[in-house]
Amino acid sequence: MNAALAEFRESPLTQDELRPLVGMPVRRQLDILRGMSDPVVDKIADRYYVHFMGFVDRGLPLYPGVVETFPHLAGRAIGTMTTRRRDGAKRMLEVAGLLPYFRTVVGGDEVARPKPFPDLPLHSAAALGVRPEACAIIGDSPVDILAGRAARMWTIAVTYGYGDPGALREAKPHEFLSRFEDLPRVLEDLDARAADPSG
């Protein structure tokens, strides 16, 4: 973000400013942090993605347990719910070696409204051919959880990512995930809750 801002002679942002806004589109972040909404914001966003994808192409470190856990999710319809542009999201999954596990890749540039609106999770569910009520959203940002809830989906808050744990709790996820290795068990628990009309 700061590399893109520097190209337009804008002062840098701090990690503390940006961290709570991870999961929101670049335009929204700049509107909140700088009150910027003029056409230059689109140019800054374009340059942001050029810099960001440069980092992606140099390699992506994965959180512990991710590579080992994905094979245990076989048989589940897996898609994305990312604010990032679709092509960028697909490239990230390619570089990480995870693309074969995803039935569909969708991005924030495919919907009218960003998270926390339900547009993105509902679009993801439609692309997967799965009813929203049968989907689970997994995210590390409050806007992920709020978007999932708005779409009537199960929500799982990841506590080891960018999101602030207190803000994640306030978003009221159905489950918390502190280790990616626990995801298959958490999904099985949600499957059981969905099958139990009393609970």
In tens, the pLDDT along 88-132 reads: 999 999 999 999 999 999 999 999 998 999 999 999 999 999 999
- The whole-angstrom separation of Cα 49 and Cα 151 is 28
Q: Could you give the angle at which helices 142-150 and 119-128 cross, rounded to 10 degrees?
A: 70
- pLDDT for res 104: 95
- The whole-angstrom separation of Cα 137 and Cα 78 is 10
Is 117 found in the same domain as 72? Answer: yes
Is 117 found in the same domain as 89? Answer: yes
Is 72 found in the same domain as 13? Answer: no
Is the CB of residue 45 less than 8 Å from the CB of residue 88?
A: no
Please give the residue range of the domain that contains residue 16.
2-57
Is 171 found in the same domain as 108? Answer: yes
Q: How many domains does the chain have?
A: 2
- pLDDT for res 87: 94
- pLDDT for res 198: 67
pLDDT at 41 exceeding the cut of 60: yes
pLDDT in tens, 66-79: 999 999 998 999 99
Is 71 found in the same domain as 51? Answer: no
